[in-house]
Amino acid sequence: APAIKGDFAPKAGRRVVVVGGGWGGATAAKYVRLADPSIEVVLLEPNKQFVSCPFSNLVLSGVRSIDGLTFGYGGLRNHGVRIYHESASAIEPDTGRVRVGDGYLQYDRLIVSPGVEFQWEQVDGLAAAQDRVLHAWKAGPQTVELARQLAAIPDGGVFVLTVPPVAYRCPPGPYERACQVAFYLKTHKPKSKLIVLDANQNVVSKAALFRAAWKDYPNLEYRASNKVVKVDPSVREVTTDLGDRVKYDVVNLIPPQRAGTIAAQADLVGADKRWCEVNHLTYESVKHKNVHVVGDSTIGLPVPKSGNIANAMGKICAVAVVHLLNGKEPPAMAPGNTCYSWVNDREAIAVVNAYKIEGGKVVQIEQKLTPGQSAQWAQNADGWARSIWQDILG
């Protein structure tokens, strides 16, 4: 591995640096190369493998394995993307540099897609609890560990799942997880129970479809407007803002979220100190020139924080960046979104959003839901996953 000191990869021609090789960043890196192979692309991503959050709820119920959701970055290298498995430690928009440890890289344009960071401080006791309280909201070792804890729950035990206040990554994700946990318990631990403590007033996404699916799960107790403010792993108990204390055998606490730390440090977040506002056509930050932000870290567009949207933003941003580097006006391109959610081991539901560009802004054309749950949508979900994983990494 090259030493990370000084300018550790001096720039010869035009260069785009991408921070984060997840759904948004990996897509952007690939598509800059596809759109103009004369532009060098350097990707910074600490993880050697990509683990898909979509479908990771199925690992909890044992319907899928984590291996089937884990991919290498070889496809991106084949497109000529230079990858350093390192974290960016700072961004210097004034000098056009990204800091990595003791070294730096120079860029002409920077694309930042660091996903979300957790607001540990929002829940009393959470920071100190460390690995004793799992989020499993970034697919990987925590997903596997939570699946293990679920499998080890005593029959008759209580699993508590907590949903953070909006805005958080993947609006339907916690409710899909509730389905998978309830499905597992119903099948393997029939005396056990799932309690969902939701900080929001109602199911945030696909509410009617999820509530219909839950009719199959009498073991699922849903409590709206129950924001968890405290966790104490020594007595296995969470406390809500209403003062209710709830005992658990296994807890899955999904913490409140904000943009990835690097975005906050680089002064890309807005007045809310949580999310990054961007131009709807180019994804350039409204705060710093030549720095673009895509994926879950963004706000202000009428789109959910989904992998499908991060992928769409990555493509649109890549095409825009290539146009800008070639002195051309970027085309107006709107993203699209589809979120499938599995409600058991063989059926899914979906929400689909189409958008257009109007007056320089992303505007929704239509949102459509599946008429119910079925194996057909689950098969389509599988088709979607295969296509989009290839679109990101292939």
Partner 1 sequence: GAGPLDAPGASKALACSACHGLGGQSPSNTMPIIAGIAPWYFKKAIEDYAAGRRPSPEMEPYAKYVREAGIDDLAAYFASQSRQPTAVKVDAGAVERGRVASQQCVVCHVESGKGDPAKGIPDLRGQPPGYLANQMLLFKADQRSPGDPTLKALKELMKSVPDDQIADLAAYYSSLR
- Footprint on this chain of partner 1 (rule: CB under 8 A): 31, 34-37, 308, 311-312, 315-316, 319, 322, 331, 333-336, 338, 350, 352-356, 365-371, 376-377, 379-380, 382-384, 386-388, 390-391
Q: What is the DSSP code (8-state) at residue 164? A: P
Structure tokens given for 295: 């994926």
Could you give phi then psi for residue 145, rounded to 5 degrees? -65, -40
Angle at the Cα of 174 from the Cα atoms of 252 and 228, rounded to 5 degrees? 50
Q: Are strands 193-198 and 348-358 parallel, antiparallel or unpaired?
A: unpaired
CB contact set of 94 (below 8 Å; sequence gap of 6+): none
Residue 260 binds to ligand FAD (criterion: CB under 6 A): yes
Return the number of the residue (261 or 374) whose C-beta is nearest ligand HEC.
374
Q: Are strands 336-342 and 348-358 parallel, antiparallel or unpaired?
A: antiparallel
Closest CA to 298 of 64, 107, 112, 65: 112
Return the number of the residue (83 or 320) whose C-beta is nearest partner 1.
320
Which partner from the list ligand HEC, partner 1, ligand FAD, none does 370 bind, CB cut-off 5 to 8 Å by kind?
partner 1
CA–CA distance, 278 with 71 (Å, rounded to integer): 30
The residue number with the shortest CB distance to ligand HEC is 338
Return the number of the residue (142 or 380) whose C-beta is nearest ligand HEC.
380
Site for ligand FAD in 172-191 (CB under 6 A): 173
Which partner from the list partner 1, ligand HEC, ligand FAD, none does 96 bind, CB cut-off 5 to 8 Å by kind?
none
CA–CA distance, 262 with 265 (Å, rounded to integer): 5
Closest distance to ligand FAD from the beta carbon of 329 (Å): 26
Closest distance to partner 1 from the beta carbon of 57 (Å): 19
Q: Which residue has the tokens 């008429």?
A: 371
Q: What is the DSSP string of 358-371?
A: ETTEEEEEEEEE-S
Return the number of the residue (7 or 358) whose C-beta is nearest partner 1.
358
Q: Residue 74: exposed, middle, or buried by beta-carbon count in 10 A (0-12, 13-18, 19+)?
A: exposed
The residue number with the shortest CB distance to ligand FAD is 22
- Whether 228 contacts 251, CB under 8 Å: no
Return the number of the residue (140 or 230) whose C-beta is nearest ligand FAD.
140
Which partner from the list partner 1, ligand HEC, ligand FAD, none does 306 bind, CB cut-off 5 to 8 Å by kind?
ligand FAD
Closest distance to partner 1 from the beta carbon of 69 (Å): 16
The secondary structure element, H or E, covering residue 293 is strand 291-293
Closest CA to 225 of 205, 241, 239, 211: 241
Please report, as a single letter, which amino acid is at residue 238: V
Closest distance to partner 1 from the beta carbon of 304 (Å): 14
**Total residues binding ligand FAD (CB under 6 A):** 36
Site for ligand FAD in 31-70 (CB under 6 A): 44-47, 53-54, 56-57
What residues make contact with ligand HEC under the rule CB under 6 A?
336, 338, 380, 384
Which partner from the list partner 1, ligand HEC, ligand FAD, none does 371 bind, CB cut-off 5 to 8 Å by kind?
partner 1
Which partner from the list ligand FAD, partner 1, ligand HEC, none does 347 bind, CB cut-off 5 to 8 Å by kind?
none
Closest distance to ligand HEC from the beta carbon of 176 (Å): 16
Sheet holding 336-342, edge to edge: 336-342, 348-358, 361-369
Return the number of the residue (191 or 386) whose C-beta is nearest ligand HEC.
386
Spell out, one character per residue from 117 to 156, where the chain touches ligand FAD: x when CB under 6 A holds, - when not: --------------------x-------------------
Q: How far apart are the first and last CA of the chain?
A: 24
Q: Which of 61, 192, 252, 308 binds ligand FAD (CB under 6 A)?
A: 308
Which partner from the list ligand FAD, partner 1, ligand HEC, none does 313 bind, CB cut-off 5 to 8 Å by kind?
none
Closest CA to 194 of 174, 164, 167, 166: 174
273-278, long-range: CB within 8 Å, 24+ apart, which pairs? 274/167, 274/299, 275/167, 275/299, 275/300, 276/112
Interface residues with ligand FAD (CB under 6 A)?
A: 19-25, 44-47, 53-54, 56-57, 87-88, 113-115, 137, 169-170, 173, 260, 262, 295-297, 305-308, 310, 339-340
